[in-house]
Structure 1
Amino acid sequence: MLHHLKVAALAAVTAIGTLAVTPAFAEAPRVAVALPGMITDRAFNENVYNGLVMAEEQFGADTAYTENVSQATQVEVMSDYARRGYDIVVGAGGEYTDAAERVAASFPETTVIVLNGAPTEGVTTINYNNPEFGYLVGLVAGHVSETGVAAALSAQEFAAFTNVVDGFRKGFQTANPEGEVLVAYTNDWADIAKAKEASFNLISQDVDVILPYLDAGWVGVAQAAEERGIHTVGILHESDTNLVSARLDFARALAWAVEKYQDGTLEPQDYVIHLTSVDQLGDFSDAVPEDVRARALEAVEKIKSGALSFDTE
């Protein structure tokens, strides 16, 4: 049976770097990450890489990573790290879920982690409560949108993105009950041209706010938005076209997992990080009216108190 642990984690994760760690293991862990993109994408991959740096600096971890791992080579890359004796092997993104399950079954002595992945037997998954964050940016988008049509754009469908979209749609339609949220896929996380083309296609369908859920491809969405005079909202990344962004810090989440591994408490279960701080909502752009900002901040407090809740199962 899969176990789900809800973590008040930005409180827990923020504590990394201030708590003294008493390792359960004599040696510092060896940590390897398979990344779908480049560590210079100014988005998810760079954020995860920063988590490796934190693990090195705070826990003395021996780290390695592979960039641009294709879907077809996920099992091969992760298995190679496991064979080479890495204690923790991480798949960066929900698209690694199937590969992680296979690797965990083949290498039971290796701790296999998926960031942003669906709960999976034998695998440690670390997720933000994606509907919470999707709701907040959707609420802002719904109040600012003039056409009443927004869109979410990703490379492929997987659980974390679906959960973001669920929250985004709820937030958008809370602000605009007649509003519509379209969903589209580029089949490529990093291709800027494909993301830009997909954005133009969405704009032709009256979309005037786009939520990009991409790696380096988000740049193409921002370019299209700027050229056509529409807005974006962000998950992880921020740009000049953004109304507001949700800050999901997988760097600190990864470092937190390494800490739990060192003290012997990391389990093959699902850890869910909830919104715990207004700082997890980025700065508002000048295009967001004061009353809309107030509504978003009120929603933050409702989520924190439990008055507004979302289920990711």
Structure 2
Amino acid sequence: MMIARRAFISGVAAATFALSGTSGVLAKDAYKVAIAMPGTITDNGWSQAAYSGLKAAQQELGLEFAYSELVEQPDQVEVLSDYARRGYDLVIGHGGEYQDAVQRVAKRFPDTAFMVNNGLGVGGNVANADFYFSQLGYLMGYTAAKMSKANTIGIMIAQEFKFTNDSVQGYKDGAEAAVPGTKVLVTVTGDWNDVAKGKEAALNQLSQGADVVWPTMDGATVGALQAAQEKKAYAVGLYYDAIAKWPDIMIQSAILDVSQNMLTYLRLAVKGELKGELYKADMNNEAAMRIGTFHADVPEDVRAKVQGLVAKMRSGELKPQPY
């Protein structure tokens, strides 16, 4: 409780001024956005990406924003309600784990717009923004299987939500398409940010024979990548082109540009055009969703096959499931 509260206070202070043109002065009628996040703005993952999206929107649209970090599920309703009471125009729950809390709070504040990033339910004053996760999961699984000498690869998720399950299924299907019979290890860590748990999960998969791992948590991902580096295994990145930070181990990255996906709906929101609908990015929206840089070890024929799969997804010929 106290962690979320401290983050809320610092977040409001950090967002006191919104940019309007080049003046740097808060516009009197600035559109106000607030977001509750499961991680931190420096987690090199999901929550940092959201913060970057709001900063970009502040620059482009002149909006004002506030944020809360490390909001645990028992505190979600209180934090979201507090923002709504304060008069924020749009209140965002950053992750599928906020869906229930958002639905509850939205009923009490019908004049406030709510968004869940990677949620499910829509309608009324609740919208969702999402990615076609199984597309990138398929591409990462295909690449991982092609690079595995042990025919065993792994994926780690923090919790089971639709978007994590979609990523896992896509990863499995892509691996099977690349090398039939590839074994895919799946670990649910139960924690998004615990670095030690992330490392333990990766070491466990590596001890079971995996030689390529894909950690999809937030801060805990760092621990998993440290394990891969120590054991000289390959890894797959998420959210950003991770080869820049992990050049020795990163064979490819599933780039989910949360900032670009958020900009899409924030542009609508400031114009009063946001609806209680699903806003879903796929491989045709390259600004929001794309693959990263191949490791030098990835053969040219594998690169060509992966790029061919991307083209088939964009044309609609290949439709990984679930959607």
- Superposition TM-score, scaled by structure 2 size: 0.86
2:79 — aligned with what?
Answer: 77
SS of aligned partner of 1:267: coil
Q: Return the letter of the residue paired with 2:308.
A: E
Deviation string, structure 1 residues 224-282 (Cα, Å, up to 9, x no partner)? 00111111112214133211001111111112211111222211111111102498110
Q: Root-mean-square deviation (CA), in Å?
A: 1.6
SS of aligned partner of 2:141: helix
SS of aligned partner of 1:211: strand
Q: Structure 1 residue 78: deviation in Å?
A: 0.9
1:254 — aligned with what?
Answer: 262
1:137 — aligned with what?
Answer: 140
Q: Return the letter of the residue paired with 1:203.
A: L
Q: Structure 1 residue 91: deviation in Å?
A: 0.9
Query: Segments of 4+ in structure 1 off by > 4 A?
Result: none
2:272 — aligned with what?
Answer: 264
Q: Structure 1 residue 312: deviation in Å?
A: 3.7
Q: Return the letter of the residue paired with 1:199.
A: A
Equivalent residues, number: 288
SS of aligned partner of 1:102: helix
Q: Return the letter of the residue paired with 2:192.
A: W
Work out which of the residue numbers 62, 65, 68 in structure 2 matches 1:66: 68
Work out which of the residue numbers 194, 200, 215 in structure 1 matches 2:218: 215
> Conserved in 2, the CA contact under 8 Å of 1:97 and 1:120?
no
In 2, Cα distance between equivalents of 1:106 and 1:181 = 44
Work out which of the residue numbers 110, 114, 139 in structure 2 matches 1:112: 114
| Equivalent residues in 2 for 1:104-253, closer than 5 Å | 104-122=106-124, 123-237=126-240, 238=242, 239-240=246-247, 241-253=249-261
Q: Return the letter of the residue paired with 2:226.
A: Q
Bigger shift: 235-244 or 126-135? Answer: 235-244
Are residues 81 and 195 of structure 1, via their aligned partners in 2, closer, same or farther at CA, if it must alter by over 3 Å?
Answer: same
Work out which of the residue numbers 52, 57, 69 in structure 2 matches 1:55: 57
SS of aligned partner of 1:74: helix
**Unaligned 5+ residue runs, structure 2?**
1-27
> Conserved in 2, the CA contact under 8 Å of 1:213 and 1:235?
yes
In 1, Cα distance between equivalents of 2:85 and 2:177 = 50
Q: Return the letter of the residue paired with 2:315.
A: S
In 2, Cα distance between equivalents of 1:86 and 1:107 = 11
SS of aligned partner of 1:280: strand
Bigger shift: 292-301 or 247-256? Answer: 247-256
In 1, Cα distance between equivalents of 2:264 and 2:239 = 18
SS of aligned partner of 2:305: helix
| Equivalent residues in 2 for 1:270-281, closer than 5 Å | 270-276=278-284, 277=286, 280-281=290-291
> Conserved in 2, the CA contact under 8 Å of 1:101 and 1:121?
no
SS of aligned partner of 1:27: coil
Work out which of the residue numbers 33, 44, 47 in structure 1 matches 2:46: 44
Work out which of the residue numbers 93, 96, 99 in structure 2 matches 1:97: 99
User: Is 2:317 aligned against 1:307?
Assistant: yes
Q: Structure 1 residue 211: deviation in Å?
A: 1.2
1:86 — aligned with what?
Answer: 88
Q: Structure 1 residue 115: deviation in Å?
A: 0.9
Q: Structure 1 residue 118: deviation in Å?
A: 2.2
In 2, Cα distance between equivalents of 1:263 and 1:164 = 33
SS of aligned partner of 1:89: strand
Q: Structure 1 residue 176: deviation in Å?
A: 1.1
SS of aligned partner of 2:256: coil
Q: Return the letter of the residue paired with 2:34.
A: A
- Superposition TM-score, scaled by structure 1 size: 0.88
Deviation string, structure 1 residues 276-307 (Cα, Å, up to 9, x no partner)? 24981100011211111111001011111111
> Conserved in 1, the CA contact under 8 Å of 2:156 and 2:216?
yes
Q: Structure 1 residue 92: deviation in Å?
A: 1.0
SS of aligned partner of 1:40: coil
Bigger shift: 275-284 or 174-183? Answer: 275-284
> Conserved in 2, the CA contact under 8 Å of 1:92 and 1:115?
yes
Q: Structure 1 residue 121: deviation in Å?
A: 4.4
